[in-house]
Amino acid sequence: MSKPSSRWATFRASAIASLSLVISFCGTQSARSETEKLRIAQQFGVGYLPLIVANEKGFVEEEARKLSIKPPAIEWLRLSGAAAMNEALISGGLDFATAGITPMILTWDKTRSTAKIIGVAALGSMANVLTTSNPNVKTIADFTEKDRIALPSVKVGFQPILLQMAADKAFGKFDKLDDLTVSMPHPDATAAILSGKSEITGHFTSPPFVQQQLATGKVHAVLNSYDVLGGPHTFNVVYSTTKFVNDNPKTIEAFVSALDRANDWITANPKEAAALYIKAESSKLAPDFVEAIIRDPNVRFTTAPEGAQKFADFEAKVGLIKRAPARWQDMFWSGLKDKPGS
């Protein structure tokens, strides 16, 4: 058998080289096939500590490298209230929004045939507390038309829906107290209620603002959200559009893994976690004060949703959503399905 001609040898070498370039190119494209940037918005409070830790420790970038994808350039933003979050997410100004689980459920239902919002992960379970500076208010039945209750986002936020759940139990009328609520970020509402010079006499809020207010002796607690739900429940969640989740599966996996790492780190390093929170929030709270909140057994940092089905069932019952999901997993990224959620 004769040896291949020099022309054939040259062609064969060229073909192999070209194939190698294609394979190399495809490999590069695969590494860059997911989003090159990630825009994440968060609000205020200890409930967002996992995001703060993930940011400061670079966990998202590390987890992305483990999955052989190029770490996205992350832009960390601050917004207050679910309404602003939803508007930014649906308009394409955000990739990940964060808010209370109840407004996420509202948005999930309203966008079933449009943006198709879906939960990515829970940020943790912690009680929210309705406080008041009005000494005459012992229960929610004692609020009058002269009182105003501050919330981050009226009607669609986490706290107002919890207030509706409490009102439904107390009065059989879920929206009885809605006219008393006003939108105000937690830091501003805390300053207002403690000043004694504002129309704000009530504030449904979260850690550390609850503890900060109660420590002054100027306010007292009226309602605890764990009592309303009958036990621990998810406070805040991260959510996105179904398209973004489907288009970026490894990015989502890396992000949730980063949150799991952050949660483990917070549990193992509460003192250091408190310091990170104070730095990120430019908070004037004492480190020991924040550390005590993190160590509170009623504060649990986990990506597993808790009480999600109860919230959805209530929202369906009072007509806030058209129908409740058959199970909580229907509202969240499929990678959470095996977590001990509810």
pLDDT in tens, 268-325: 999 999 999 999 999 999 999 999 999 998 899 999 999 999 999 999 999 999 999 9
* pLDDT at residue 225 is higher than 70: yes
* pLDDT at residue 27 is higher than 80: no
pLDDT at 264: 98
Calculate the average pLDDT of the chain: 90
Residue with tokens 């832009």: 75
Fold type of domain 129-229: D-Maltodextrin-Binding Protein; domain 2 (3.40.190)
Question: What Cα–Cα distance (Å) separates residue 181 from each residue in 80, 159, 160, 218?
Answer: 16, 10, 8, 20
Peptide bond into 208 cis (omega under 30): yes
pTM of the model: 0.85
pLDDT at 31: 45
Same topology, domains 37-126+233-336 and 129-229? Answer is: yes
pLDDT at 33: 63
CATH architecture classification, 37-126+233-336: 3-Layer(aba) Sandwich (3.40)
Helix (H, G, I), strand (E, B) or coil at 288: helix
pLDDT in tens, 159-177: 999 999 999 999 999 999 9
CA quadruple 224, 225, 229, 232: dihedral, nearest 10: -100
User: Beta strand pairing status for 148-151 and 200-205?
Assistant: parallel
Q: Which is more confidently placed, 2 or 240?
A: 240
**Overall average pLDDT of the 20-46 stretch:** 66
* pLDDT at residue 121 is higher than 60: yes
Q: Delimit the domains of the chain by residue range.
A: 37-126+233-336, 129-229
**Overall average pLDDT of the 31-37 stretch:** 75
For the chain, give the longest Cα–Cα distance.
Answer: 106
Which helix (H) or strand (E) segment is 312 a member of?
Answer: helix 308-317
Q: Which is more confidently placed, 225 or 157?
A: 225
